[in-house]
Amino acid sequence: MTYLEQELRSYSFISKFQEVAPNNYDGQWIWNLTKPTDSWMTLEFYKKLGYSDQEIKLRSTLFWQQMFAKSDVSQMLEFLQNLSNQSLYENIIQLTGKQGDVFWIKCTGIVIRDKEKNPIRFIAFLQKQAKVHFFDDYLSLQKQANKLAKIGIWEVNLITKDIYWSQVTKEIYEVPKNYERDFDKVFHFYKNEKDRILLQEKLALLKEGKDFDIRLKLTTHKGHEKWIRTIAIPVIENGKCIRAYGLVQDIDSLTSNYYRLKEQETLFRNMFEYAASAIVQLSLTGDILRANFSFIDLFGYSEEETKGFNIGELTHPDDIKKTLSVVNGMKDGAYYHKTIEKRYLHKSGSIIWAIVSISLVIDSNGDPIYFLSQIVDVTSKKETELKLSSIMRVAKDQNQRMLNFAQIVSHQLRSHTSDMEMLIKLINLEQTQGAKDPYYPMLSQAVSNLSKTIKDLNEVTLIYNEQDKNSESLLVYEYLEQAVQRFKLEERLEDDQFELFDYCDMRINFKKDYLENVLFQIIDNAIKYKSPVRKLELTISKEVHDLYYVLHIADNGLGIDMVKNANKIFKMYQTFHPHEEARGIGLFLIKSQLAAYQHKITVSSSPNQGTCFSIYFRK
């Protein structure tokens, strides 16, 4: 009786061993994992494979290995080495009978380990399977799984230096099918010196009977770089490693993704920690999980202090409701990102105004896991805005008071000037002694001028103080025709003196009497200040810009010296040529009327060449 047969009988009392035993089995098997060449099977099982009693008695130590497929032995040993203590192992293996027939055997067993947890024995029950076609499919499926997982098998004889590579292994190294494998040339696949040194060190340990599991970067036969995982298991005979076998797996995609994710994680961590704006990671209930240096600087708390805070404690009381509304909207799935303006409280109690971008981070299942908030300090900007707003309110109030004052003064002055004009008319009608006074004409002219000035000021006041800013949709071409027709009826403009393009059909929002006045004033000026040496030519055209319709009214009159007068043209009481009707108020009024409805006007001119007014009507 061999030592393994004796051990098998003693192990049969182990409860775990009894639990895995099938109801019907054809034989038992014990395998010495510390000396893989030693194995023992029950005699009945050999007989089922077609061997006689005499052949069984003469069987050699390696007789059992001759019946196994080489790939099954190497794969089984690798799996058993990694199987936990007394864990169930179940697999389908191939055995060759006496006549060369292939038998499919279901192998069910457990691994026994020593006190140091090293695997020492494998004990199994063997069942011969009748449905060979099913296990053919099983083997095909197993090979296909290895191919899909990119797992290849290799074996090397350390004495003869012969190497065996499976088809998947060849595909991993991208070598041709007829590739001549050379033990020494294997190192040429590893261009990185550190990888070559590591592999040499592991091979030296392999010869001492120590297995290894390492990751290396190889350069394939076609020149492609890829990451692989290689596992090696030594086979020891007479205290010497004579051969080794193992697995090689293409892990380039997994490893590249790992390093890519690691790079992205490093990038994110650096952006998080050293960003100029404050960034904080919050739990779904608002607890601070992690904050960067800018956050700590902004709020004045230490890193340790922030870990005990809920973001609600740092939020201004008046903004808590607004913040909760945004957070709850994210949790409900209404949106995953929101930007709001809110206030926080500094450690000192001062207010921090901030623009906050809040994002909800979800996992692969779409479930929320935490919030990420980026906080931009706008306190200085907000304080400036509040100051400007206060100044604007004061200025608006003062302007309103000034307009009210102007209204009152204008009304009172109109009343007094009306009285003065009436007195002048009475003196003229009565032909009193005062009418003959040499100063009377001067007084009469002064009263007339004062009346005109007050009238002009009253028109300006009405523009700025007008409460009703309702506009109408007006077709500019219609009002141009009306203006031109008016000047023709007054015999101030002839048919051949103007060119009115009918495509000036822009429709604008403006006040009717304001549009009439703007067009009248510009054309009236062109007629009043025409050149004495050439016939007046008036050209009216339009352009279309992104925000404006632009109406151009150009003449060939006296023109204006823009170098001297560019800043005076639209100011009150500015005239640039002598004329009996010149008052210097018309251009000021039309600019004011246009500005009241967000329109504008510009001018270009040259002395003795002409002037072009461009009116920009907002669309």
Residue 602's pLDDT band, with cuts at 50, 70 and 90, is very high
CA-wise closest residue to 171 among 100, 224, 238:
224
Residue 338's pLDDT band, with cuts at 50, 70 and 90, is very high
What is the per-residue pLDDT for 132? Answer: 47
Task: Tell me, yes or no, whether 142 lies in a domain.
Answer: no
Query: Tokens at residue 45, please?
Result: 């099982």
Question: Is the domain of 527 the same as that of 548?
Answer: yes
Checking if the pLDDT of 142 tops 60, the result is: no
The whole domain housing 394 covers 383-465
Q: For the ranges 502-506, 558-562, 588-592, which has the lowest average pLDDT? A: 502-506
Query: Tokens at residue 306, please?
Result: 């922030």
Task: Tell me, yes or no, whether 139 lies in a domain.
Answer: no
Task: Tell me, yes or no, whether 478 lies in a domain.
Answer: yes
Checking if the pLDDT of 6 tops 60, the result is: yes
Does pTM top 0.85 for this prediction?
no
What is the per-residue pLDDT for 4? Answer: 85
Task: Tell me, yes or no, whether 366 lies in a domain.
Answer: yes
Checking if the pLDDT of 133 tops 50, the result is: no
Evaluate whether 570 touches 441 at the Cβ level (below 8 Å): no
Q: What is the mean pLDDT of residues 547-574?
A: 92
Neighbours of 381 (CB within 10 A): 12
Question: Is the domain of 452 the same as that of 496?
Answer: no
Please spell the DSSP secondary structure of 87-117, one letter per residue.
Answer: -EEEEEEEEE-TTS-EEEEEEEEEEEE-TT-
Question: Is the domain of 396 the same as that of 483?
Answer: no
What is the per-residue pLDDT for 135? Answer: 45
Residues above pLDDT 70, as percent of the chain: 82
Task: Tell me, yes or no, whether 109 lies in a domain.
Answer: yes
Residue 467's pLDDT band, with cuts at 50, 70 and 90, is very low
Q: How far is CA 581 from CA 525, 530, 575, 584, in A?
A: 10, 14, 11, 9
Question: Is the domain of 51 the same as that of 103?
Answer: yes
Task: Tell me, yes or no, whether 270 lies in a domain.
Answer: no
Q: What is the mean pLDDT of residues 432-451?
A: 72
Average pLDDT taken over every residue of the chain: 82
Highest mean predicted confidence (pLDDT) among 82-86, 341-345, 449-453, 592-596: 341-345
What is the per-residue pLDDT for 397? Answer: 77
Q: What is the mean pLDDT of residues 200-212?
A: 89
Angle at 89 between CA 88 and CA 92, to 5 degrees: 145
Please spell the DSSP secondary structure of 468-490, one letter per residue.
Answer: ----EEEEHHHHHHHHHHHHHHT
Residue-wise pLDDT for 471-516, tens only, equals: 889 999 889 888 888 888 888 888 767 776 655 678 999 999 899 9
Question: Is the domain of 29 the same as that of 112?
Answer: yes
CATH of the domain at 115: 3.30.450.20
- If one counts the domains in the chain, the total is 5
Task: Tell me, yes or no, whether 143 lies in a domain.
Answer: no
Question: Is the domain of 439 the same as that of 556?
Answer: no
The angle, 0 to 180 degrees and rounded to 10, between the axes of the packed helices 440-465 and 586-595 is 10
Question: Is the domain of 415 the same as that of 526?
Answer: no
Residues above pLDDT 90, as percent of the chain: 31
Checking if the pLDDT of 560 tops 90, the result is: yes
